[in-house]
A and B are shown apart, each in its own frame.
Chain A
Amino acid sequence: MSETDLVLGIVVATALAFDFTNGFHDTANVVATSISTRAMSPRIAVGFAAVLNFAGAFLSLEVAATIAEDVVDPLVITTTVIFAGLVGAIAWNLITWYFGLPSSSSHALIGGIVGATFVAAGADAVFGEGILGKVLVPAVIAPVLAFFVGAVGIVVCYRVVGRQRPGPVTRGFRFGQVLSGGLLALAHGTNDAQKTMGVIALALIASGHLGAGSDPPVWVIVSAATAIALGTYTGGWRIIKTMGTRIIKMDAAQGFSAQGAGAAVILASTHFGFPLSTTQVIAGGVMGAGAGKRISAVRWGVAGNIVVAWLLTLPAAALFGALVYLVTDLFPVAVGPVVVAVLGLAAVATVFARRIRTPAPAPSG
């Protein structure tokens, strides 16, 4: 095995680890509303989301193409750069998970790759226009759009069923949440698993195993789908609690409206190849469904913390990506990623050990 192949293997493993944290971190987006309105028990909701995330990963490759071609120059970056970007993204994902903040895995990934590319290959290798047009503008528009879709949706919904007996209406919307939650999980799989596919494709292009502009090979699609599904099944109860109960106290109709808004925005964006943050979109939908009922129903302090995490994600992950690249570059080609991977695993083990000692209040069921 050559040094290049060894580094490529480490990069692919790291990308799949990121994909796992993505599923783990973003489970909350998909299942929190269903759990908090008791449309599904936590275990069933998470299992359901895992299966549909797996299926969703096979549906489209538009976002993967954007990650692989439109954000950085695939012809000048190396596997070490991609490794550093991935580690930066994982680090930010774990930090925000530790504090229970639903930040964006997508922006962490893009930020990490951009930061590492910037220090390794210079500003010319970073496609500013691609980042602005494909990432930043959609990042601003998508959660605002989800907010309004969720808000208008809940107003329409209350107009139609507001005078009916609450029992049957609640049961009806709980059933509806099984459908909207399923669609959301499918949409999440299409959008988020593709980011990992895009990064692995980028690594294969950088190492000469894949031509520029090619679709990811089947093994990449299958492994990315599996990693995100396993991560989703493992679940991230801390963020589920924030998303499901701390932003608003939700009824079943609001849960349906928020999930419908999130699914519609993600599906439409995936169709046009915008790699948006599913976290931001669903949080926007949840806030909209709360505000549509009553502005004061939204806990704006919690919402503010989430927005701060959103704003910090791209620059923070870029900073981590750049730092990891500089550390990795201190060592010979094949040694750097191994050293950083070992240090990273030790850090992750420490974080998990601390969290296990102070466990999150996992929902029952």
Chain B
Amino acid sequence: MVGAIVDTQALWETVVAAFVGGVGTTFIFSLAILGATRFGEASRDGRSGAAAAFAALALLGLLATAAAIAFGVIVMTTK
């Protein structure tokens, strides 16, 4: 009965979108912080190759986080 009243498709999509969006954003931002932290250490140790790789990780993580936030706003405004 509840299944007939509740829009289960919309509810399911809400659950999946929230889970992927919430956990995914936390994950990619954590990667950005990992990259930034390790970049500092690698730079101090003079490991330029590793420093460049961690800088790229930090930058990509930040960009992905910004993209996730922008996507959230776009999804909301286009309904």
Q: Shortest CB–CB separation between residue A163 and chain B, in angstroms?
A: 9
A contact face: mostly helix, strand, loop, or mixed: helix
Considering only residues 6-35 of chain B, those with a C-beta below 8 Å from chain A are 6-7, 10-11, 13-15, 17-19, 21-23, 25-27, 29-34
For this complex, into which size category does the number of interface residues on chain B fall? 35 or more
Given A132-B6, A165-B37, A268–B14 Cβ distance below 8 Å? yes
Judge whether A62 and B79 touch: CB under 8 Å.
Answer: yes
- The CA of A60 and the CA of B52, in the complex, are separated in Å by 42
Q: A270 on the interface (CB 8 Å rule)?
A: yes
A148–B34 touching, CB < 8 Å: no
Q: Is the CB of B15 within 8 A of A145?
A: yes
In this complex, what residue of B is CB-closest to A262?
A: B22
On chain B, the residues within 8 Å of A59 by CB distance are: 73, 76-77
Known: A133-B7, A264-B21, A265-B22. A164 touches B2 (CB 8 A): no
Closest CB-CB distance, A202 to chain B, in whole Å?
A: 21
Bound complex: CA of A261 vs CA of B22, how far in Å?
5
> Is the Cβ of A183 less than 8 Å from the Cβ of B72?
yes
Interface 0/1 of A159-202, CB less than 8 Å to B: 01100110011001100100110010011001000000000000
Digit string of B25-62 for contact with A (CB within 8 Å is 1, else 0)?
11101111110111010000000000000000000000
Chain B contact surface mostly: helix
On whether A172 and B32 interact (CB within 8 A), knowing A190-B76, A260-B25, A264-B22, the answer reads yes
Structural contact, B14 and A169, CB atoms closer than 8 A: no
Chain A: which residue is nearest B27 at the CB level?
A156
Interface residues of A (CB under 8 A from B): 59-60, 62, 129, 132-133, 137-138, 141, 145-146, 148-150, 152-154, 156-157, 160-161, 164-165, 168-169, 172-173, 176, 179-180, 183, 186-187, 190, 253, 256-257, 260-261, 263-265, 267-274
Residues of B contacting A190 with CB < 8 Å? Answer: 76
Report whether B34 and A164 are in contact in the complex, using a CB–CB cutoff of 8 Å: yes
A-B contacts besides A264-B19, A270-B76, 5 pairs, CB < 8 Å: A133-B5, A161-B34, A172-B36, A271-B75, A272-B11
Residues of B within 8 A of A179 (CB): 29, 65-66, 69
Chain B min CB distance to A9 (Å): 32
Residue of B nearest to A128 (CB): B5
B22 partner, pick from A149, A161, A168, A253, beta carbons under 8 A: A149
Taking a contact as CB atoms closer than 8 A, the residue among A141, A172, A267 that contacts B33 in the complex is A172
> What are the 7 closest A-B residue pairs judged by CB atoms, nearest first?
A264-B22, A149-B22, A172-B33, A153-B26, A264-B21, A160-B30, A268-B17
Given contacts A263-B72, A269-B14, A270-B76, contact A157 B26 (CB under 8 A): yes
Contact of A267 among B26, B31, B40, B72 (CB under 8 A): B72
Verify A60–B7 contact, CB threshold 8 A.
Answer: no
Query: Are B18 and A268 in contact (CB-based, < 8 A)?
Result: yes
Q: Which residues of A contact B75 (CB under 8 A)?
A: 267, 271
